[in-house]
Structure 1
Amino acid sequence: MKRFILVIILLILPATAAIAAHWHQLPVSFNYEFTSLYFVDENRGYLVSREGLVVSLDLSGATPQIETASFPSNLYDICFLPDGKNGFAVGDDGLILQSVDAGRNWTASNRHPDMRLTAISFIDSLHGFIAGSNYSKTSIDVGFILSTSDGGKTWDSLNVAGRKIRHIDISPEQLITVTGLRTVYLSDNMGKEWDTAEVASGKIPMAAVIRGNYGILVGGSGLLALSSDRGKSWEITNVLVDTATYFDILMLDSKRAYIVGTYGDILYTEDSGRNWTPEASTVGFDLNAIQKVGRRIYACGKRGTIIYTDLEE
């Protein structure tokens, strides 16, 4: 009997060795709703808030070092180029912020007062994409995708039409996945051509991510859709509680993933989203975004929440 138990343990350990065990709150105090975060390494990160704040964090010392910059528009997403110096943030009123000095200073450009820019991501130092919607009284929620091929100096509108286009993910294989209302947009050639896949649900999608052939899409009222054909089709499941909304996804690979949502919910899967295990986030406020850098995972949300965990070796 003892020999049988030992064999089972050896079989289980490799599959669970990378599970994050404990979540901790950063010792910082904010009363903002953080909508997105981007860490360039485990100790240096940036966050944006719905109140128009850009926060720079340096966690390398005994006490976190904090710098802030304030802007008059809601901010929804932030990212940095591979050099860690050039960064961008986007928000309401067509606001695009840029920093060329690792977040010490930010300059703003307003493209259009009726644009809500909700996501930004770069493939490399030159090619990037912005997702957003037009929320004027005459054309509410008409979505669009902007692209740049010169490192963000200029942005052009792509020939992609939809509603509530809000989230961008770029896989290690450079598959671009953009989430819209009932539609997922896919491009594997730098945005030159786009395929679409319908998500037949009356619920609002928030984010879709694809790794390998497997994809996970989450949204309002417990929406969960899964793909096993690289996003060409999506299967709606009824696994998640329909009173929760999930806002963001972190896929570690084609099998393992985290999703974050309302009331501090963090769920983990090891089978591409078929089954989920809740993790104790230690907070009760909505979590809007999650990111992995090195062996550390960060998440942020309402009430200035910033939490982290370290993946076990």
Structure 2
Amino acid sequence: MMDSNITSFHPAMFQLTGFPGQEAANHWITIPFCVLYVTAIVGNCTVLCIIWKDRHLHQPMYLFLSMLSVNDLGMSLSTLPTVLSTFCFDFPGITFNACLAQMFFIHSFSFMESGILLAMSLDRFVAICQPLHYAATLTNPRIVRIGVVIVMKSTSMLVPFPFLLQRLPICKGNVLSHAYCLHPDMMRLACADITVNNIYGFFAILITYGVDSMFIILSYIHILKTVLNIASHEQRLKALNTCVSHICAVLLFYVPIIAVSVLHRFGKKAPPLVHILMSYVYLFVPPVLNPIIYSVKTKEIRKRIFRIFSRDFI
């Protein structure tokens, strides 16, 4: 009976952490976070509105971009409540079930972003390597199916996580390392065997980030081979230029993930502040910079943004 009570034990509340030792400056720290949130929300909403209103942009490349913007909005809104409550309102508490829900959404949106970036690499592969089959291959119904598969795959991979955490007795305190809930952070507070959590977590990461990144690399190897076979130097640059925004989005997403993984395994002697900052970069930078990159590098979106601002100033 006692064993059953112990294995089902978990705290009613978790305490979230901002920047340890900087609690007095929390209200000032709120300012850059608010700037990041406003930039991410306004930027992604602008991209979505432009694509929604202009029928000429209802093409595969822009439909995948709209998926990316929706996903980035979801990621920003997943962390917003607890980050603002921790830094702005000095209320770092979150219930166990709410923490599980936030953890599920944060990791789901991260997995979905990886899938969307893979779909965007497929779009670039077909556009450059098989341009005559582009319209026939990436039809609207097929794009919808790709989006549904990405959502179903990402969420189904995350469904076991809350159940794996619920079965663990949490008895090493209730203080988390960030202003939001993550699976590794919650798992480390358990005083039971976490082998299953570690194995499944590694499996989910390998199947998602590992497989997606491998196919993205393979698609760009084929793209590069095709581009190098183009005789005209101008056409080569034009073809590569259509990939720049996507390459930047891929680097923005995967480089912080790799950095966080390397720090987690080999940087145990690094100051805690470094780990915390890298975690914030991993979650906050892509939603902020993706719409900016696509707005700057994509001529059609850039034109429509200039048109909107020119109307406002006239």
TM-score range, shorter chain: under 0.3
Q: Which has a greater percent of helix?
A: 2
Q: Which has a greater percent of strand?
A: 1
Point out which structure has higher relative CO (alpha carbons under 8 A, 6+ apart): 2
TM-score (norm: length of structure 2): 0.24
